[in-house]
Amino acid sequence: MNQLQVLAIVLYFAKLTATDPNTTWHRHKLPTFLPQETLKLDKPQFSAKATLELMTHCNAECLWKEAHPTLEDLKENLSYETLYTNGTRTLTVVDITDFDPSTHILNQHTPGRSRRKRQIFGMDGRFDISGKTFLLNFPFSTTVRISTGCTGVLVSDRHVLTAAHCIHDGNDYVKGAKKLKVGFLKENPKAQLTKRSKIPPKLLTRWLRVKRTQVPKGWIRSQNELSMDYDYALLELKRPHDRPHMEIAVMPTTDQVAGKRIHFSGFDSDRPGQLVYRFCPIINETPHLIYQHCDAQPGSSGSGVYAKLWLPEKRDWERKIVGIFSGHQWVDLNGMQRDYNVAVRITPLKYAQICYWIKGTYSDCRSD
């Protein structure tokens, strides 16, 4: 049985191993995200070096520092910078109303399963996705390249979600951010599969320019201690693309996720030119992060992390983007060091912010 046959079986049985669909994740009332003032900033220097591999260290205090955040801290973290193609940038100050602190609190757990080898945990569980039947169709077609070397995911007809560290190192924008591009895999019209060769022709990459980039201030202001909590950014393309996209959703608790596992695809740097898919159980979660042992390598940063969530109105499970793959974290607890691969979870506030960035109005981002 080849790898693609195994993958097809995995995708088929994912639906059959789902948890109880009687969930309430969709019923939470979202906060209102209200931009208040936009200020002009000096042009960035574009002096930072793009980082494909983000690694951080954390302890118990770091893990739960925002379990009970103040409203002012949240407003500060969710204010955001916008970078335009002409090199100018602005800072938008925001207000937040209708925020329910209970949606930001999780039970505190101590992560378990000590590991010693980072990024690849035991046997490599990644799948190479090949052949246009998979690569050019949903959900794999929603994965795109970022010209700085990372991965992104399509979340509207002209928006791409990725990791902030692929664009900005916390002090300045990376060198390639001024002329940022997004790459789409497409079929090579001149290539044909000959009778002598069983190897499918390679796909081409079509690049589209980015019109503007938005990064939360929580990422920029956190770099004194290099926190992953706000490691996400939204890119707006100069023109719409012609592919299906994935919708974002508030990350529910692990028990409300089908199979209690997450999935994501990315362009891992150790497999050049190859789209790589993986899935794994969620090990733990904090108010901002999803801890797991999904195998990943540099280049997969910015991948859209999705889960299957139950939609009562459709009476079916559907893939939703619930996080953004960030990188690797060493966690020091009780004198023991454990390591994990980490994704930024989409909280109600982050959902409200990203939705506003996409739609331009908070009224379209409310839910009862």
Please say whether the beta carbons of 279 and 42 come within 8 A: no
pLDDT for 109: 46
CA atoms of 223 and 215, how far apart (whole Å): 13
The dihedral sign for the CA sequence 250, 310, 7, 158: negative
pLDDT for 210: 98
Residue with the two structure tokens 């199979």: 259
Residue 61 has pLDDT above 90, yes or no: no
Q: What is the largest CA-CA distance in the chain?
A: 66
pLDDT for 4: 52
140-196 confidence digits (pLDDT tens): 999 999 999 999 999 999 999 999 999 999 999 999 999 999 999 988 776 665 545
Mean confidence (pLDDT) of the chain: 84
> Of 15-19, 27-31, 271-275, 318-322, where does mean pLDDT reach its minimum?
15-19
289-304 confidence digits (pLDDT tens): 999 999 999 999 999 9
Quick one: how far is CA 313 from the chain centroid?
26
Please say whether the beta carbons of 165 and 54 come within 8 A: yes
In order of start, what are the domains of the chain with their CATH numbers? Answer: 3-189+198-365 (2.40.10.10)
Please say whether the beta carbons of 245 and 346 come within 8 A: no
pLDDT for 112: 47
**29 pLDDT tier (thresholds 50, 70, 90):** confident
94-145 confidence digits (pLDDT tens): 999 887 766 655 544 444 444 444 466 667 788 888 888 889 999 999 999 9
CA atoms of 251 and 265, how far apart (whole Å): 18
Q: Please tell me the number of Cα atoms within 13 Å of 153 on its side-chain side.
A: 28
